């Protein structure tokens, strides 16, 4: 009985530590400045009043263009979930363009890659989309994260080889007590900083 209670407490502590230490993809300073009420449609309708405001938007990359002045992404915007991860493209509310100084590799930032960013609205850029002209809200990127998925895998006793923190041998996990059993680890989502390096997982 005591062993069962210990296992339950260990699992609960491990879960708390993993979730509590997982950061939001956008830094706090930008979250405090962000105009949460602004989305693509509202900026298209009132670009003058939105100019200069900070937004936290996300979605999937449609196109990327590099030139001597930097890089411009065209993004299919979607709402973000509570973890800052862009929802399915089917929830899209429009398109926008995001500019940043420096080169962005098209093999990394390719079509379909999901991004979350903080940006300052600079206005509207009109461009041809099919047979019509589309009003793209444009932002200068303040912070950019991009997402990748880690696939599911099977782990077995006596070690629990989680994709972060490393393993320290049964029954330790990253310096904390952790009780685990063989089974499947379901895939997680990692976000990366534009300049490189893993910054967090979901």
Whether the per-residue pLDDT at 153 is higher than 80: the answer is no
Please tell me whether residues 121 and 33 are part of one structural domain.
Answer: yes
Span 48-61, pLDDT tens digits: 999 999 999 999 99
Specify whether 156 is located in the same domain as 86: no
Q: Domain check: are 16 and 83 in the same one?
A: no
Claim to verify: residue 121 and residue 157 sit in the same structural domain: no
Query: Do 165 and 111 have their domain in common?
Result: no
Number of domain units in the chain: 2
User: What would the DSSP string read from start to end of 125-158?
Assistant: EEEEETTEEEEEEEEEEEEEEEEEEEPPEEE-TT
Same domain, 10 and 32: no
- Report how far residue 167's alpha carbon sits from residue 178's, in angstroms, rounded to the nearest whole number: 10
User: Do 52 and 92 share a domain, yes or no?
Assistant: yes
Q: Give per-residue pLDDT as tens, 93-141.
A: 999 999 999 999 999 999 999 999 999 999 999 999 999 999 999 999 9
> 92 and 42: one domain?
yes
Residue 157, domain extent: 2-22+150-201
Confidence category of residue 23, pLDDT binned at 50, 70, 90: confident
pLDDT digits (tens, 9 = 90+) for 159-181: 444 444 443 334 433 433 334 44
Lookup: tokens for 85: 């991860």
Cα gap 158→96, rounded to integer Å: 49
């Amino acid at each position: 009985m005591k062993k069962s209670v210990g296992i339950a407490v260990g699992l609960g502590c491990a879960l708390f530590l993993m979730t509590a230490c997982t950061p939001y993809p956008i830094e706090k300073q930008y979250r405090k400045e962000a105009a949460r009420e602004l989305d693509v449609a509202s900026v298209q309708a009132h670009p003058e009043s939105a100019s200069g405001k900070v937004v936290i938007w996300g979605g999937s990359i449609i196109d990327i263009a590099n030139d001597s002045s930097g890089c411009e992404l065209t993004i299919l915007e979607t709402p973000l979930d509570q973890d800052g991860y862009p929802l399915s493209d089917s929830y899209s509310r429009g398109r926008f363009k995001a500019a940043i100084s420096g080169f962005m590799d098209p093999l990394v930032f390719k079509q379909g890659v999901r991004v979350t960013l903080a940006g300052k609205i600079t206005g509207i850029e009109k461009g041809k989309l099919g047979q019509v002209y589309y009003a793209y809200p444009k932002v200068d990127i303040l912070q950019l994260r991009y997402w990748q998925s880690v696939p599911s895998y099977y782990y077995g006793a006596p070690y629990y080889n989680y994709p972060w923190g490393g393993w320290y041998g049964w029954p330790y996990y990253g310096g904390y007590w952790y009780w685990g059993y063989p089974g499947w680890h379901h895939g997680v989502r990692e976000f990366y900083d534009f300049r490189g390096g893993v910054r967090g997982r979901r």
